[in-house]
Amino acid sequence: MTDLELLNLAVNAMENAYSPYSEFKVGAALLCENGDVYCGANIENSSYSATICAERVALFKAVSDRQTSFKSMAVVGCYPVKTQDFCYPCGVCLQTLREFCAPDFKIITANSLGDIKEFTLKELLPYGFSLGR
Ligand SMILES: [Zn+2]
């Protein structure tokens, strides 16, 4: 699975977003160490705090299938009118990833022009909380 293939799966997942309030669609594709891929889209709620991000949807789907070893995640997002902005995981998602992923876990994002950026989890969350696991 190449980074570009993972990004394309995230783009496809983005179409499944339920985002009637923000109209901001996000898609994520999570690559497991065994090669399986789990996708997710953001799911908003009338009670805004019940909203969940695409990244955590993908991660929770994977963990609920007993997957706990991950290589990388692709994340994309946009409003109906596409911009050149990149979509980065929020702090809650980074902390959630921190629970299961190594510091060198790769996070890939792309904008609507096809420009790609890659980071490690450690770069985006240098001091994540941990109980020592
Ligand atoms: Zn998030």
CATH code of the domain covering residue 95: 3.40.140.10
Full domain range(s) for residue 55: 3-124
Token representation of residue 67: 């997957």
Report how far ligand 1's centroid is from the alpha carbon of 14 (Å).
Answer: 14
3-state secondary structure 55-90: HHHHHHHHHHCCCCCEEEEEEEEECCCCCCCCCCCC
112 within a domain of the structure (yes/no): yes
89 within a domain of the structure (yes/no): yes
In tens, the pLDDT along 103-114 reads 999 999 999 888
Is the predicted pLDDT of residue 101 greater than 60, yes or no? yes
129 within a domain of the structure (yes/no): no
132 within a domain of the structure (yes/no): no
Beta strands in 1-133 (DSSP E): 25-32, 37-41, 70-78, 106-110, 116-120
CA distance 108 to 114: 12
Catalytic residues: 55
Rounded to an integer, the average pLDDT of 27-35 is 98
133 within a domain of the structure (yes/no): no
Q: What is the pTM of this model?
A: 0.95
Is the predicted pLDDT of residue 133 greater than 70, yes or no? no
40 within a domain of the structure (yes/no): yes
| Confidence band of 26 (pLDDT split at 50, 70, 90) | very high
Report how far ligand 1's centroid is from the alpha carbon of 132 (Å).
Answer: 23
Report how far ligand 1's centroid is from the alpha carbon of 114 (Å).
Answer: 22
In tens, the pLDDT along 73-94 reads 999 998 777 677 899 999 999 9
Tokens 């946009």 belong to residue: 78
Rounded to an integer, the average pLDDT of 47-51 is 96
pLDDT, position 73: 98
